[in-house]
Structure 1
Amino acid sequence: MATDTTTSNLDILSTAEAWSAAGRKVALATVIETWGSAPRPVGSHLVIDEEGNFEGSVSGGCVEGAVVSEAIDVIGSAKPVTLEFGVADETAWRVGLSCGGRIRVYVEPISAGAA
C-alpha cells in the first residue's frame, strides 16, 4: 500500500508531466535534506509553472512562497538552485519557518518530455 506522501508525490510528478506536455514551462522543487523539526520529509515535491501556479508542498506552507519565487527565476534561467531555510537564518522568520528545523530544497527546470 502506498503512503500518503508517496501517493501525493506521484500526483505531483503527474501534474509536472501534464503541465510540461501542455507546453507550460515548469520547475520541480524537491526536499533533499532536513534537520530537526521539518514539516515535510525528504523527497517531498512542489511543481511550479512560469506563472507561479503550483501543486504540492515542500514545507507545509512555511516556505512555499519563497520557493515559488525562486522557481520562476529557475524557469527563466534554466539553471537549478539549492535553497536552504532554517530557524537560525533570517529568511526563516521572514518566510515562516520558525519551527526549529532546517530544510534544503533543490529546484530544477523541467523540459518538455523530461517530466
Structure 2
Amino acid sequence: MQDILKTIEEWREAGEDIALATVVKTTGPAPRFEGSKMAITRSGKLVGSVSGGCVEGAVFEEAQKVLKSRKPKLLKYGISKETAWDVGLACGGGIEVYLTPLE
C-alpha cells in the first residue's frame, strides 16, 4: 500500500488525472482481499492490483470512462459462463470493485 500512496502522490504532483479502484467485496476464492487497491491515470499508468492480473485490463478500461465522466462506478466480476474467460476471473469466486476519480 505504501508504494501505491507514494506513486499516487508523485502522479498528483505531476498533474495526472487519477482514478482509484478498491475491492469492496469478495465471494468465494478471490485473487485479492477486500481493500486491495489499484490507481490508474488518464495517460495510461497504473499501480497496485485488484485481482492479481485477471481483471486489471477491464478495470483499466472502465477507469478511463470514470475519469471522463467524473462519476464513480461499482464493477462486478464473477465466474458466469459468459464472462469468466472474457475478463480472466476463472478462480471460482467474484469481486466487486468501486472505481472513483480522485479529487
TM-score between both structures, scaled by the size of structure 2: 0.94
Deviation larger for 10-19 or 70-79: 10-19
After TM superposition, the runs of 4+ consecutive aligned structure 1 residues lying more than 2 A away are 89-92
Residue aligning to 1:73: 65
1:22 matched to 2:6? The reply is no
Give unmatched runs, 5+ long, in structure 2. none
Given the alignment of the two structures, is residue 54 of structure 1 paired with residue 43 of structure 2, yes or no?
no
Counterpart of 1:97 (choices 73, 89, 101) is 89
Identity of aligned residues (%): 54
Give the Cα separation in 1 of the matches to 2:49 and 2:23. 9
CA distance in 2, matches of 1:105, 1:87: 15
Q: Which residue number corresponds to residue 79 of structure 2?
A: 87
Number of aligned residue pairs: give it: 103
The Cα offsets for residues 67-102 of structure 1, whole Å up to 9 and x where unpaired, read as 000001111111110000000262332010011000
Q: What is the alpha-carbon distance in structure 2 between the residues aligned to residue 64 and residue 14 of structure 1?
A: 20
Match of 2:55 in 1: 63
1:107 aligns with 2:99: yes
CA contact (8 A) 1:26 1:49 kept: yes
- Which TM-score applies when normalising by structure 1? 0.84
2:31 is the alignment partner of 1:39: yes
Root mean square deviation of aligned Cα: 1.1
**Following the alignment from structure 2 to structure 1, what is the Cα–Cα distance between the partners of residues 15 and 83?**
33
